[in-house]
Chains A and B, each alone.
Chain A
């Protein structure tokens, strides 16, 4: 037994070393940008035009992505400056045009004659000025100065937009910076990706497994929650705060600063090429790490709950769906020239399902693409009501879903940190249903624009609605808060407060389902294990101690309340809908009809 404990500790050490190597990769890249890379990323012609600006970077070796990216951004900024210089319209043009106007009445001929030369820059200037001043046609101004002022204003606007229209806007700069940085990453990792996969991925995985597996022998099967509230990792102690900070930073870099994490991405290039035939994107890296997290922590879950076939079955289920549906199958679809799709994900969690480019991509992919479109609609329109009626929300949230899968595996050690207070429940109902409404409105807007070619619906620009949703809900809420806050607010922050699909399934579960958690007569001792370990923050005990079925929209049916109950009080059941919303009743006291 002692040797197993040594192995257990050695596993932790190996994991820490491996994880340390993974973190260290962030700092060890080497960056050299070459002409070939720039030609490929910018296009041959543009590169030729811009090569002088890149001159100072070419051939230079950077040891940090921070200086590389900063130089690269400086180059783009310089390129934009030079473009601005070429295209900008001098302010004096305003007074020159105004001076030719008769009676201070504006006519477009004034502009046309001013830019009479047939040359690219002049044509562009003319076009812009005409378009910005169209509304002024035949307008009479009090004085020449007034007309000049009006024209100057238009010229200022045109000049301010040059970088965006002729040069590189911030999105383009972001994308190009990320792709050029990745392509220029020529460090040890880029040259030896397999070695680094071994060092920074296989070693920590092995360490984690070596740490976990001895528990099969060193602990007996059964609920083992000892010291969860004594441990700094699982009780919001310094380790929990440290891990939360790390996760938050990871998500911030992933979503908004991918150019700084290219070393990790180049490491998984060969894996991506093996699956889809293409090099890795940051999303491939994310999916790869996500899948590993679910598989490894899934094994932990299987060991921890090995006395409970229910827990084991649903853990195997989320591991399977993540590995196949979420990770491997979409990559293979890409290899087969089909659109990338996670066939178990669905709208409105998959909020981009109805975006124009996604619909077009599927329509263009032929029969299989049409099937995907139909499948995705059938899942939420037929699958959700049907399966939720039969089995409750759990069929998706704790058996299939990827977010749920991560929460139930990587997040399991933090389930006790969810807030059980009544005020949290009140907030939750506003917040999660608010997001559902937002998702529906956003999708209606996007679809309206798709079918009508109008960019606004009821005065709201649908594209900006879409990008606001993507930023606030898709990235900040689901990613940064949803996962980053595991060690701080529990493992279901996103599912509980933000997931629009969970809100939708929850409404069906609450009102039309056979599922409930039954309480066992009068056996509850109010100990509080059920409430403490409810990841959704349901005060399960409140119901159990008064003998009332638990029928709650938020319950994901993880079954942990039933597992941790020391007295066999709670059970997840699909039964007749009749009597589901029962009057509380406790068995055992015959003195009077006890209604607790």
Chain B
């Protein structure tokens, strides 16, 4: 029986522990300095907004861990001796491991701005971040959020829910425009403004100004403008949390270097989740560092196979992701680049007259097969989209079966007919005849 130690009880570490337990009787210890139990990081915003309490964000009841013989340890790993396979802990005695999984996550980026270490200047990643955000909320009349990404808009929505004035400073010319195509990005811009959140595009900060008490009092923009504020949210991405691993034999790049088996350069040491950096990107359309919930989960699932004797290379399938921009849900399947390339792609973009729903289908121009799907305010079926992209469905087949992809609740107005009409107008010789809907008995 080996002793498997996992550092980090986020989605990657916890999934690894669960899957190892399915396949082996090894002793498993899960160490975290953050919380006693696994909680869903993605739900931090809902705790702040009062949709849930902390206890609701725990995906497993507290008895689950003991029942599955997963030993939980609330402690902080200070140093790792890879040669001796020893962990030095803050509170407990040193600990030996046979197998070590580093699932230590990431940290919000700070780019060396003067004043970035002031009080009430922070990102939103950990439970402690939520606590400090709560602590600084009472004195905050105006919050500035730096960065236009998923966490940025979450933080903006959080402050907005407390009736605090919010300004978002976005370096690009439109929200999340390095990921979203212009139309979708513009839709989110409108959504932000509609909710009374100030959106300042093409703005970057130069420094954060002390209010005289060691707390943020204002930000100074490049160009000299000064915005008074009592809180600065830094949401300009995250980086692997490798600080405590520097000056060890572990090979680091931006993250912990791993091969396709999540093996590091140290024997019996693996790294998964946000902190792992692949030596080679796992697929042509994937990055070397993957930092979303789903990939963390998949890393955990896969590394467990290898550790339990079924050596398995990480092979992600068709890309997918989702988010919610205040009231607008977003889903994406396959590849939808932020800048449509007219030479290689053909886009079908439909937008509802409300300007709060859209469907974008992207096809390869060359062979007219489906490349990716973007949905705003509309839900699509993962299974169907995955199949259409994976099996390289041709355009006509995609449109013929598009209704089966819709995952919106019953009685919602379906808009696939409008997309089919768009297709029919573009390809009259290949037109699809409308089929009668059989309604609720159709399945």
Which A residues have a C-beta under 8 Å from some C-beta of B? 220-223, 225-231, 307-310, 312-313, 416, 421-422, 514, 520-523, 525-529, 531-532, 541-542, 545, 559, 562-564, 566-568, 571-576, 586-592, 594, 596
Contact = CB atoms under 8 A, between A and B. Distances in A.
Contacts of A564: 51
A590 B315 contact: yes
A574 B302 contact: no
Contacts of A572: 409-410
Q: Top 8 closest A-B pairs, CB basis? A: A521-B382, A222-B327, A568-B379, A309-B411, A527-B43, A227-B50, A589-B298, A590-B317
19 contacts: A225-B49, A228-B51, A229-B51, A230-B50, A521-B386, A523-B320, A523-B382, A528-B46, A528-B52, A529-B46, A541-B59, A542-B59, A574-B443, A589-B301, A589-B315, A590-B315, A592-B301, A592-B312, A594-B301
B56 interface: yes
Contacts of A231: 50
Contacts of A307: 327
A575 B441 CA distance: 8
Interface residues of B, number: 58
B317 A589 contact: yes
A590 B316 contact: yes
Contacts of B195: 220
A532 B51 CA distance: 9
Nearest to B300: A589
A416 B51 CA distance: 9
B42 A525 contact: yes
A312 B413 CA distance: 13
Contacts of A566: 323-324, 329
A528 B195 CA distance: 25
Given A526-B42, A527-B57, A592 B305 contact: yes
B305 to A, nearest CB: 6
Contacts of B313: 591
A591 B382 contact: no
B443 A529 contact: no
Contact of B320 (A522, A528, A574): A522
Nearest to A313: B411
Contacts of A529: 43, 46, 51-52
Nearest to A226: B161
A313 B409 CA distance: 12
Contact of B316 (A309, A575, A586, A588): A588
A527 B294 CA distance: 13
Contacts of A568: 322, 329, 331, 375, 379-380, 407
B279 interface: no
A528 B56 contact: yes
B40 to A, nearest CB: 4
B409 A520 contact: no
Nearest to A1: B196
A230 to B, nearest CB: 4
Contacts of A514: 443
B412 A589 contact: no
A591 B312 contact: yes
Contacts of A421: 61
B274 to A, nearest CB: 14
Given A226-B50, A567-B329, A589-B302, A523 B322 contact: yes
A220 B327 contact: yes
A532 to B, nearest CB: 5
A225 B40 contact: no
Nearest to B354: A221
Given A220-B194, A310-B409, A522-B382, A527 B40 contact: yes
B294 A522 contact: yes
Contacts of A594: 298, 301
B324 A527 contact: no
B326 interface: yes
Interface string B51-87: 1110011110101000000000000000000000000
Contacts of B383: 520-521, 587
A576 B298 contact: no
B313 to A, nearest CB: 7
Interface string B290-315: 00011001100110010000101111
A587 B297 CA distance: 12
B90 to A, nearest CB: 28
Contacts of A541: 59
Given A532-B51, A574-B443, A587-B383, 6 more contacts: A525-B40, A527-B40, A566-B329, A568-B331, A573-B410, A592-B302
